[in-house]
Amino acid sequence: MQTTDVDVAAAAVNDGALIAYPTETVYGLGADALDATAVERVFDAKGRDRENPISLAVPTVEAATEYTRATDRERAFMHHFLPGPVTVVCQRRDSVPDALTAGRARVGVRVPDHDLARELLAATGPLTATSANISGEPSARRLADIQASLRERLAVALDGGTVPGGGSTVVDVSGGEIHRRGRQADAVAQWLTEH
């Protein structure tokens, strides 16, 4: 079901279902990031390798610190770049399931710079933050771009119109390493050098 009603999308998430939601980059595939069973549904729907971790999205930097053990430097970085198209890899707290992180001790955290996404996240709590596409296929800038085989697995598609595209920059602030260059990568690299 396609909708602009955040409450409808949030209810689907609370039922353990999959949804699509807009971000400032591409459409995301959302499920309750703290529910291992829901996270497994995301991997199945995308055909994603279980060894390839998925990030989580939250509505604010303060919310990010509820699910991570962010250092002072990581917090400073988050306050500088988030909300925005940047994923920050931090030490996870115990509430974050192994299914999301492929058993790793760290998790990627996103705070999307999209009002509808943050409104949804405020209603649901952490969602999986991965593109709404079959692994290896193009990311979706519009709901119509989502591959049919994935679209049929969605309970709700939250319509935010056409989004800008491009991927987030993935950064390990503690190690000073950019894992994936995306939007704002040059600014991230400069910050890491200067701080």
Give the DSSP letter string of 82-130: -SSSEEEEEEBPTTS-HHHHTT-SEEEEE--S-HHHHHHHHHH--EEEE
pLDDT in tens, 86-134: 999 999 999 999 999 999 999 999 999 999 999 999 999 999 999 999 9
Cα separation, 160 vs 163, whole angstroms: 7
Residue carrying the six token digits 């910050």: 191
Average pLDDT over residues 152-176: 95
Return the pLDDT at 63.
96
Q: What is the CATH number of domain 2-194?
A: 3.90.870.10
Tell me: the pLDDT tens digits for 9-48? Answer: 999 999 999 999 999 999 999 999 999 999 999 999 999 9
Residue 3 clears pLDDT 90, i.e. is over it: no
Residue 124 exposed, middle or buried by CB count within 10 Å (0-12, 13-18, 19+): buried
pLDDT at position 55: 97
Q: Which pLDDT belongs to residue 192?
A: 96
Q: What pLDDT is stored for residue 4 in this prediction?
A: 83
Contact 155, 20 (CB under 8 A): no
